[in-house]
């Protein structure tokens, strides 16, 4: 006799962010998990969001959502500066947390989040959804198989056309900047190759450019890194690029593998492998990486299945972000007081 299906997750949403439709609403609908509550600073926005996306009810404030006994998982897609404060508050309330990246405004705050997660004993996960998609899993399989030979070079670029000038991603008080929005993916993807490169990479150098009219906010940043085994890497990001590009190239002594869009593989699911035997293109499927992510989170919470992302990983990424900022002549993002 088959085991009964696990109980659906009961998820509460902080805010009515645009990303939530792609990152959570669609995946929850696909996988059968419940969106039990939403709160926003403007209740009318929360009501419109709930109506459009079949959220079960609206609560008056973020604090009310954290106090709701039916909410077991809190999803935090707020502006970057509000990730740390509300992640800390959700953990203090005993909730599991799925937070948009990065987990905090800077490494100091990320360390506090890690401590809070350890104290709470609940699940904390930064939403690097790409890691769960077959595109990235296949890249790692290929590297691990030895088909490419010894790892020599990794090149990641995550770039988009410029958001509107009023976008919070251009705001220093809201912890904006290209690295915070995009470069975190570039750096994280490099970090995930540590098992095949002799350990975690270290930052060698970084350079970047400031957004005109937004003092202290990076429009682009290029970081160079080196692994203990000798392989090197570039982690690049640009938030005012000519086009959208989110690529990862892995070069070994015997060949290379290339993913044209590892961050949003539902747009392009190719992995192109080139070796002395020739070139082949593998297609890994356009199912949403966010759906894979939600399934992985649920499997961990309900069945204790392995989960590769936790508060320790989030701190390691945030530390590398801060190091990159300082090396490029920027200051790490300031933290903010709890608001909402």
Domains of the chain: 10-129+292-309 (3.40.50.720), 131-288+324-328 (3.30.360.10)
pTM: 0.96
Cα–Cα distance for residue pair 63/41, rounded to 1 Å: 11
Residue with tokens 């609940």: 122
Q: What per-residue confidence (pLDDT) applies to 338? A: 63
* pLDDT tens per residue across span 229-286: 999 999 999 999 999 999 999 999 999 999 999 999 999 999 999 999 999 999 999 9
Cα–Cα distance for residue pair 295/300, rounded to 1 Å: 9
Cα–Cα distances in angstroms (integers) from residue 271 to residues 56, 145, 156, 310, in the given order? 40, 15, 14, 27
Contact 47, 67 (CB under 8 A): no
Residues of the chain with pLDDT under 70: 1-5, 338-340
The contacts of residue 2 (CB under 8 Å, 6+ apart) are: none
- Residue 153 sits at φ, ψ, to 5 deg, of -155, 140
> Helix 311-327 vs helix 184-191: angle between axes, to the nearest 10 degrees?
120
């Amino acid at each position: 006799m088959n085991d009964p299906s696990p109980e659906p997750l009961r998820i509460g949403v902080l805010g009515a962010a645009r990303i939530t439709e792609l990152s959570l609403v669609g995946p929850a609908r696909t996988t059968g998990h419940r969106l039990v509550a939403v709160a926003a600073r403007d209740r009318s926005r929360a009501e419109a969001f709930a109506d459009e996306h079949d959220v079960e009810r609206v609560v008056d404030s973020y604090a009310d959502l954290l106090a709701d006994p039916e909410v077991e998982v809190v999803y935090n897609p707020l502006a970057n500066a509000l990730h740390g404060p509300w992640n800390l508050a959700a953990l203090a309330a005993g909730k599991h947390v799925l937070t948009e990246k990065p987990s905090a405004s800077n490494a100091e705050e990320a360390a506090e989040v890690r401590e809070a997660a350890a104290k709470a004993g609940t699940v904390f996960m930064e939403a690097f959804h790409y890691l769960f998609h077959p595109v990235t899993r296949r890249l790692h399989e290929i590297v691990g198989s030895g088909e490419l030979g010894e790892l020599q070079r990794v090149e990641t670029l995550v770039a988009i056309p410029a958001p509107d000038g009023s976008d919070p991603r251009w705001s220093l008080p809201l912890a904006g900047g290209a690295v915070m929005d995009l470069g975190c993916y570039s750096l994280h993807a490099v970090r995930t190759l540590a098992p095949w490169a002799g350990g975690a990479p270290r930052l060698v150098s970084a350079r970047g450019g400031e957004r005109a009219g937004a003092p202290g906010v990076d429009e682009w940043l290029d970081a160079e890194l080196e692994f203990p085994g000798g392989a090197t890497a570039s982690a690049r990001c640009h938030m005012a690029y000519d086009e959208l590009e989110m690529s990862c190239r892995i070069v070994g002594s015997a060949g290379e593998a290339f993913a044209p869009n590892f961050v949003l593989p539902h747009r392009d699911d190719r992995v192109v492998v080139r070796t002395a035997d020739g070139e082949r293109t593998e297609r890994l499927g356009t199912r949403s990486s966010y759906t894979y992510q939600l399934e992985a989170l649920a499997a961990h919470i309900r069945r204790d299945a392995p989960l590769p992302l936790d508060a320790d990983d989030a701190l390691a990424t945030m530390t590398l972000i801060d190091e990159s900022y300082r090396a490029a002549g920027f200051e790490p993002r300031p933290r903010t007081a709890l608001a909402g």
